[in-house]
Chains A and B, each alone.
Chain A
């Protein structure tokens, strides 16, 4: 059994009288330490799948197993525990707490987590040694996203889930962020899943999952992932 397994996962959103089928019989599997890029058009179900995987949403039907734990059957509190211990999230808009410095934002995550890493060291790792005590408003977009990544990996999670991490960033900065993520996956042997519109970055992944119409239409295993520096778009 794979490290991460989606089995016939369905997710319906009931909006008044209309039912939207966000996911329909999605099946996929990801191995531990893989860098996965999820691509697909808007509304194809990428984010829904990621949210379910991250314990932020529940399935309507089907089964999701992460590291042998069937998270689709977890109750609210266990789900929070799962998020707390096993998941690191990176969002498009960073979602840093504005009132906390870079370091404090990382600490916000580590203080609730038992096996966490040293926040300061993590920030050093993401290249923000000089910016630790700056507030988000004093940081550039890329720097903010680094803080967000630092916050996510400082928890030492099983999965690092990134939803459009470069969506709000310029090309160069985006590349740096992707590099950071790729490096993290390689060096820390962390399972990293990146959602993106940008199919061009797909070659950097070990596995590319293509979503369309609410299901993982195509799963491509990339035998030779390219370093991000070599990819141009």
Chain B
């Protein structure tokens, strides 16, 4: 007999397959969604857990301000739970490619945090490296190309700076796009590069990574894992101080050693220098003395020479005098002689003149004689004449001979005189000769003296010169010595100062601080884990909606089924079957539907949903293939829940029926009693409704349960869709709200600490004079912790130089009233998410810790709109009052003239080049990066819409079916009455339309709140999602819901058309 029941159950499935499938679908959707969504978060964790285990990612990371040593590694190794300790190296470097500068983080390839090589191969040599994929994209480099790491002043970590790219790798410690900050370039690290360990030139580790014993046993981010890590961290904390001190001592020790060495060296050099100087001085003294001695000697020599010369000169003078006397004598003699000669000469002259006269007379006589002779020769001459002539002749001859005799006399007289003169002359001549000789002798002596003198004096002079030279040399030597001395002194002073500085430096070496971090401080990992938590939160809310609806719909379906078979129940009861046996058929029916649907749902859900969501996150994180687990706990939980819902609903429906007596059961159930509705009492409205409207209104109030179900279904659908769009709206509003509405500046310039007030002023003026820059507002910014009671948040304190100026670049809007707020001089303004997290209201006080040395309480005057990060705005007056420090602006908020990103980047690099700036961050860059991340949220919207659509479809279809089957007689009747198909459809659909409208209206309200709830659940601490839903989103939600309703209505239309009047009316109900 049980067999008959089983057979009946299967037959039932066959005949009412539509109902069976619809229950199956509800179970499928409910369980699928639940299991899938619930599985997503664990799958996400599994994915990263597997990845981290495979790549041997650290559990604890230790960094120190003074680096880490092998001793630290040894000490850590001793700690319980610690499995392996790895010392690793890293450094931020600049790489210049095609005139573009990239900031890279160089990391050593280790056995810990192993990168996944996606292309190419691991570096084998010193001069090879791995880069990340985006690096190749940005630089147009290929595997095999070379890159050159720019030399770094501070620290040369690499031996080889020319690196060949051997492959592309993903780092497990950088799963998000965030690469961290640096003081190089534009302040943010662009990419990472892995190099071989051999290429590292350092003994001090940059960081130590620790893996834990049995770390494999725990799943990352699980409570057990966190506890285990925390426990080990506490143990490491215990040795922290000791190791810090050891490192301090070591650093101080080597520093002091070096210092001592330097001091020794310094002292030695100082001594050496000093002896050298004194030696030189001595030498100079000696030289001086020598010169003096020489000088003296020379002087005495000169004296003697002078004396000697003067004696010789005297002698010579005497000789000269003698000669000159002799000469005088001689001259006198000469003079005498000469006068004698003159006299003689005179006589001679007379004689000569007489002679001449004689001679002339003789000549005339001779001429006259010759004429007489001639005339005598003449024949014509008379003898008288001849005689006259001859007488004359004879007379002449006589005269001539007289004259001749006189002549002879005269000539001999002359001769005698001449002889006299000659002898006198020769006498004179010999005297002269003698004097000449004497003179010559004197001259010779004189000359000799002169030469002796000149040689002597030249000797003396040269000696003198030598002494002068020596003196000059000495002087120069002295000069050199003084300069050398000066030099030495300054050098020594410098060296001393250096030494003192070095000493001070050593004194300044602070105790190193260890930072003991775990995975949660890794930005990428932490945000991923936070995302898994958001998904987890979502996976609680959404399935509830689905479950509730699935349960309600199944309840309606099953109730209807039981009602339809009421007579069968009665028959069985009358035949004596017990409740369980009667129930069995329905239990089998509903269980089968639920389990088949649920199991299919599980398999689809846990495969599809995590994959879609993980794919979506794949855009934000670099992760390996998702790990899709069975997550049997959640799957079974989902199946159990839906089983309880559906089968529970079935049991409830049957038990309700079975309460009645078999006889009653055999009779048809009294149809639902028609009733007047409240609206009918309001005659003015009721009267206005036409007949069919009235029928609709009545029907709606008649089938309350189904109406409710329909409304809930449509409401849920609309709400889910609205939530999807709303979520997108809220998130996409964050950026414009923060960077356009609240922050009106374009970039933020962080100044170097070393700048003094004057330099800063100068810098600001320069900056403001740049083309395109409107203004730069000075502020002081500092990280701090704000707390109230036991709530605590990290915040950014902003202290403007001028409250008025700040208002131009940061707008304060009161969260409640949306009105402009002023920063008061003695109270602070909080950003709203912070106020919410700290549970602070206006007028209450909060504690600020982290600025200066003191913890201060401040009163909150207002709470301002803000979307990203937490801010506390404080006036300069309050700051100086609270903290005993000089107000010194360190951040400039710069507004420009709508510059393009390229222009701003150019200014950024100019500013960085100035050396006065430690970082520049462009709001545009922040916006683009965030925007990319947020755009992937479109997938969420798609998932929500698809699931909402499925839900709406199944619910509406199911309810339409129930509606038709429940009212089939009524529908058959009106068909018999001659209603056209369309009229029949309208008769039903008017209700559906009305319910849809109500459902949508409620759905919009519910969606608003669901969106609000989801936003609050997913919201990250640092972000405030805008509580806005775009009007368009409402429209989309409405349209999409209407579209789904229409599809179901079309199906209903055909179902209605197919109703068989005869069989519907024939059956006795």
Contacts and interface: CB of A to CB of B under 8 A. Distances in A.
A95 B702 CA distance: 17
B1067 to A, nearest CB: 9
A228 B691 CA distance: 37
A226 B1060 CA distance: 38
B673 interface: yes
Contacts, number: 85
A101 interface: yes
A89 B698 CA distance: 24
A56 B674 contact: no
B702 A99 contact: yes
Interface stretch (A66-74, A104-112, A169-177, A182-190): A104-112
Interface string B293-335: 0000000000000000000000000000000000000000000
B691 A107 contact: yes
A99 B979 contact: no
B396 interface: no
A99 B695 contact: yes
A219 interface: no
Contacts of B969: 95
B675 interface: yes
Contacts of A2: none
A31 interface: no
Nearest to A148: B973
Contact of B979 (A87, A100, A112, A155): A112
Closest A-B pairs by Cβ, 4 of them: A84-B978, A135-B674, A83-B978, A99-B674
A137 to B, nearest CB: 4
A182 to B, nearest CB: 23
A112 B983 CA distance: 10
A206 interface: no
B272 interface: no
Interface string A69-96: 0000000010011111101010101011
A200 interface: no
A97 interface: yes
Contacts of B868: none
A54 B976 contact: yes
Q: SS class of chain B's interface: helix, strand, loop or mixed?
A: helix
Given A98-B673, A137-B670, A111 B691 contact: yes
A97 B970 contact: yes
Contacts of B974: 97, 108
Given A100-B674, A137-B674, A89 B1069 contact: no
Contacts of B691: 104, 107-108, 111
A95 B695 contact: no
Interface in B834-888: none
Contacts of A101: 674
A51 interface: yes
Chain B interface bracket (under 10, 10 to 19, 20 to 34, 35 or more): 20 to 34
Nearest to B972: A95
Interface string B1041-1069: 00000000000000000000110011011
Nearest to B701: A99
B979 A93 contact: no
B977 A109 contact: yes
B694 interface: yes
Interface in B177-193: none
B699 interface: yes
B672 interface: yes
Given A98-B674, A135-B674, A112 B977 contact: yes
B671 interface: yes
A51 B694 CA distance: 31
Nearest to A101: B674
A113 interface: yes
A136 interface: yes
B674 A77 contact: no
Contacts of A111: 691-692
A151 B977 CA distance: 9
B1009 interface: no
Given A57-B1062, A93-B1068, A137-B671, A100 B978 contact: no
B1062 A108 contact: no
A87 B978 contact: yes
Interface residues of A, number: 35
B980 A93 contact: no
Contacts of B980: 77, 80, 84
A136 B674 CA distance: 8
B673 A137 contact: yes
B409 to A, nearest CB: 214
Contacts of B1062: 51, 56-57
B671 A98 contact: yes
B683 to A, nearest CB: 13
Given A56-B1061, A93-B1069, A85 B978 contact: yes
Contacts of A57: 1062
Given A80-B980, A82-B978, A99-B674, 12 more contacts: A54-B976, A83-B977, A85-B978, A93-B1068, A93-B1069, A95-B976, A98-B702, A99-B698, A99-B702, A101-B674, A112-B977, A135-B673
21 contacts: A80-B978, A80-B981, A81-B978, A89-B977, A95-B973, A96-B973, A98-B673, A98-B970, A99-B674, A100-B698, A107-B691, A108-B695, A111-B691, A112-B977, A112-B979, A112-B983, A135-B673, A135-B675, A136-B674, A151-B977, A155-B977
B693 to A, nearest CB: 12
A56 B1062 CA distance: 7
A113 B978 contact: yes
B698 A83 contact: no
B207 to A, nearest CB: 78
Residue from A84, A99, A100, A108 whose CB has the most chain B CB atoms within 10 Å:
A99
Contact of B672 (A51, A93, A98, A151): A98
Contact of B978 (A91, A104, A112): A112
B412 to A, nearest CB: 211
Contacts of B975: 80
B615 to A, nearest CB: 50
A101 B673 CA distance: 11
B15 to A, nearest CB: 13
A109 B1062 CA distance: 18
A137 B702 CA distance: 14
A84 B673 CA distance: 27
Contact of A104 (B675, B694, B1069): B694
B977 A108 contact: yes
A91 B1065 contact: yes
A230 to B, nearest CB: 32
Contacts of A137: 670-671, 673-674
Nearest to B673: A137
B294 to A, nearest CB: 150
A100 B977 contact: no
Contact of B1065 (A80, A83, A95, A98): A95
Nearest to A51: B1062
Interface in B738-773: none
A53 to B, nearest CB: 13
Contacts of B983: 112
Contacts of A112: 977-979, 983
B977 A84 contact: yes
Interface string B490-508: 0000000000000000000
B822 to A, nearest CB: 66
A76 B1066 CA distance: 21
Nearest to A133: B676
A101 B675 CA distance: 9
Contacts of B970: 97-99
A180 to B, nearest CB: 19
Contacts of B671: 98, 137
A51 B978 CA distance: 13
A98 B973 CA distance: 11
Given A91-B1065, A98-B674, A136-B674, A83 B695 contact: no
B340 to A, nearest CB: 201
Contacts of B1065: 91, 93, 95
Contacts of A99: 672, 674, 695, 698-699, 702, 970
